[in-house]
Structure 1
Amino acid sequence: MLYPSIQQWQPRATWSQEGGRLVGEEVQAHGRLAIAKRPLAHLPEEAIKEALLNALRQQPEKLFGDKLQQLRGRMALLREYQGEAWPDWSEKALLATLESWLAPYLIDINRLSQVEKLPLERYLLNSLAWEAQSEFEQLTPLTLKVPSGKQVGLDYLPCLSQRPPVLALKLQEAFGWQVTPTVVDGAVAVMIHLLSPARRPLQVTQDLVSFWQQGYPEVRKEMRGRYPKHPWPEDPLTAPATAHTKRKG
């Protein structure tokens, strides 16, 4: 035969866009030209992983959900302020290194919908050494304790665009807060979104003292009649912070 390799059947995993899953088949081919195909019930594990990774590179939105984006934001902030001591977790870099940080966890998975349900942020965090993980958590905490006593989550998505992380809380929960909180060992002041009782933005600031002195009197004048059940003290720096209305204390 002129092309004896055509007689050999080679296993191949292909992605079915319509079915949203991997399809196994054996192919007789000459170069890239498929001469014949037949279904294959069982695919080698490595072929499945390779096909999944290729599919993820073609549909990266399946990979970069909110939790992974928050993690990427935290790392982007560290790289901005502490440099290349921290790894590059840009979309381009992560897609290029899927084999190292994601592939080992793709066991018994053949659909992208299954990949989306995996704890991807944990896998990526595990790619750091234990000491680096501990430092990462310390420098970019998930929450901060506010004067009302609550732990409030930080939003690191803005850090992907080189903006500071956001802490959103009701204005009354910040009474008495004179020092703007920071992350990255004091290097980055958090952007505070002070909200109305209806959780609408009243003020965005990185300078709490300036707001209490200059912005708060006008906010108080406008809001105290609209939300009379909530405290609007004349001196917010000495008032007790609270997440409740006046009736609840």
Structure 2
Amino acid sequence: MNLISVKHVNKYFLQPAKMQVLNDVSFEIEKGKFVAITGKSGSGKSTLLYLLSTMDTAFEGSIRINQEEMQGKSNPWLADFRNHHIGFVFQFHYLLPEFSVLKNVMLPALKLRRYSSSEIEHRANELLKLLGVADQAHKRASLLSGGQQQRVAIARALINEPLIIMGDEPTGNLDSHNAAVVFDLFKKLSAENGQTILMVTHDEDIAKRSDRTIHLTDGKIDEVHLG
């Protein structure tokens, strides 16, 4: 089943002058696949990911996710859709520095209210354990190393059991060991949980080991292949 369907998407930046960033982009992604989005800086890959994440709604064409059309939806509807279906990992962690690691991970689930507070805390601790940072749970997020903070950000993205996990260079600031840990975790989530992974990356090894690679050049898809 296709979880994501993109048809004839065009995207323009209007400042300082009108410039086309994505040009007639079309593709489909099946549920449970690990997909790498690659291309040189400025090729449009991060712009495409932000459109797919529903955080950028100014585009032409059609983006359907889980059978829902994203074009024309209100911001409150899109925010609710993201909370239920999409976990996002940025290159920079964007943790709240004054909160504990545990609270940072719990926040999206507390907002969604799918589980009780005690169940959310349990789930958050299990994710921190999975990512090797359970011993940091009660520290302020600002006291962790960069690699630890990124793993906490990944736990936060996973807390609501999203259908889709999106990452914009999520291993870009990690050393090779931690990057491999993160990749193996994402691979496991797609293989065992049926979660769909979309990752913008410059890492050729990650691209080669993904289920599928979508390569962009100057805003156009010029290569799609199986990993």
Structure number with greater Rg is 1
Q: Give the structure-1-normalised TM-score.
A: 0.23
Larger relative contact order (Cα-Cα within 8 Å, sequence gap ≥ 6): 2
